[in-house]
């Protein structure tokens, strides 16, 4: 495994991607902590789910689904809207069982729409190009680390082979993007990213790695942290798609993901208010939650 050491303004390179919104969320992870007969705990749990639905609906993917041309996506978002409105009413009336079911229904509808959009490339062309560009930046950073490792006589052969694989996938991604096939280009770049992260971790197992990134302003640092968080999201999504979160492990992963997104939303609020130093700290905590999700699925990343 790789131990990343951060000192002063030094940042650990972790994972980034934009995010399909995962289907199951916080129910089991938080619900397991709440006694069934504790009305306050049940109310807070339902309120958390409702807030999460609001976050998903108001996210770029959620807004694109609601405003897009695909009737299926619009219907899922509308179902989510209606279910969460009904959940709020049931919560006010103290009908907790009904409110909890409605909140779960809303989560399923909205996250299903967001996830399907991500899988089917339904984001706008500008959004897809930005995601592709950001992910390419992350691949480039990992590529630099692989090049350094290629200078190690004991690791040289494996590192050079890895470079060839990463470069090949990156070149394919660029060709697809130039041809206007952005969805396929994104998948190729995501594959390059996944291989770079996992194989670099394997090649450097047991080594300590110091990665230093310098930022001119807290706003620049926050922009980097947002990219890193999004990289974590796509890696989580990819690991789930590979079946690494089967059974009860999925609940654990979903709990980490929800906690990360909640912290990410708080970070964005701080950044919008111009408090970028506070936003950076929150986004670092958000990424740490996604790293825990990845670790729980066997990805050797810190």
Count of CB atoms situated within 10 Å of the CB of 291: 23
Same-domain status, 92 and 43: yes
Provide the percentage of residues in the chain whose pLDDT is more than 90.
Answer: 19
In terms of domains, do 222 and 267 share one? yes
What share of the chain in percent tops pLDDT 70?
73
| Listed residues 91, 120, 149: the one ending a domain | 120
pLDDT at 26 over 50: no
Residues 116 and 135 in one domain: no
| Mean predicted confidence (pLDDT) in 89-99 | 86
Computed from CA positions of residues 71, 74, 76, 79, in that sequence, does the dihedral angle turn out positive or negative?
negative
Asked if residue 14 belongs to a domain, the reply is no
Same domain? 93 vs 165: no
For the chain, how far is it from start to end, CA to CA, in angstroms? 8
Least confident span in 111-115, 116-120, 193-197:
116-120
For residues 276-300, average pLDDT: 90
Q: Is the pLDDT confidence value at 119 over 70?
A: no
Instruction: Indicate whether 28 belongs to any domain.
Output: no
250-273 per-position pLDDT tens digit: 889 989 998 998 999 999 999 999
Domain termination residue (choose one: 209, 233, 253) = 209
Q: Which of 101, 120, 139 is the last residue of a domain?
A: 120
Q: Are 272 and 213 in contact (CB under 8 A)?
A: no
Q: pLDDT tens, 73-82?
A: 677 778 877 8
Do 99 and 54 lie in a common domain?
A: yes
Same domain flag for 190 and 226: no
Average pLDDT (181-193) is: 86
114 and 129: one domain?
no
- Residue-number span of the structural domain to which 223 is assigned: 215-296
Q: How many domains does the chain have?
A: 3
* Tens-digit pLDDT profile for residues 204-239: 765 544 445 678 899 999 988 888 888 778 778 778
- Give pTM, 2 decimals: 0.50
* Residue with token string 């994104």: 186
Residues 245 and 281 both lie in one domain: yes
């Amino acid at each position: 495994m790789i131990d990343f050491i951060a000192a002063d303004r030094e940042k650990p390179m972790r994972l980034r991607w934009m995010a399909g919104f995962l289907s199951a969320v916080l129910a089991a992870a938080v619900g397991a902590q709440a006694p069934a007969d504790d009305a306050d705990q049940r109310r807070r749990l339902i309120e958390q789910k409702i807030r999460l639905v609001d976050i998903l609906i108001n996210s770029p993917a959620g807004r694109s689904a609601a405003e897009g041309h695909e009737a299926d996506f619009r219907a899922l978002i509308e179902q989510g809207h209606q279910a969460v409105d009904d959940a709020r009413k049931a919560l006010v009336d103290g009908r907790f069982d009904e409110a909890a079911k409605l909140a779960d229904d809303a989560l399923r509808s909205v996250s299903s729409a967001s996830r399907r959009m991500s899988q089917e490339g339904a984001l706008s062309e500008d959004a897809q190009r930005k995601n592709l560009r950001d992910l390419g930046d992350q691949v480039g950073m990992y590529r630099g680390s692989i090049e350094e490792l290629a200078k190690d006589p004991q690791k040289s052969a494996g590192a050079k082979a890895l470079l060839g694989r990463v470069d090949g996938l990156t070149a394919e991604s660029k060709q697809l993007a130039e041809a206007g096939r952005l969805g396929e280009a994104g998948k190729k770049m995501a594959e390059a990213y996944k291989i770079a992260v996992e194989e670099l971790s394997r090649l450097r197992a047991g080594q300590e790695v110091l990665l230093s990134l310098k930022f001119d302003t807290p706003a620049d640092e926050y922009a980097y942290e947002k990219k890193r968080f999004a990289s974590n999201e796509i890696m989580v999504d990819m690991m789930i798609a590979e079946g690494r979160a089967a059974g009860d492990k999925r609940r654990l992963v979903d709990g980490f993901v929800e906690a990360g997104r909640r912290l990410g939303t708080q970070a964005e609020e701080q950044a919008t208010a111009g408090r970028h130093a506070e936003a950076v700290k929150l986004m670092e905590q958000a990424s740490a939650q996604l790293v825990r999700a990845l670790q729980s699925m066997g990805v050797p990343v810190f």
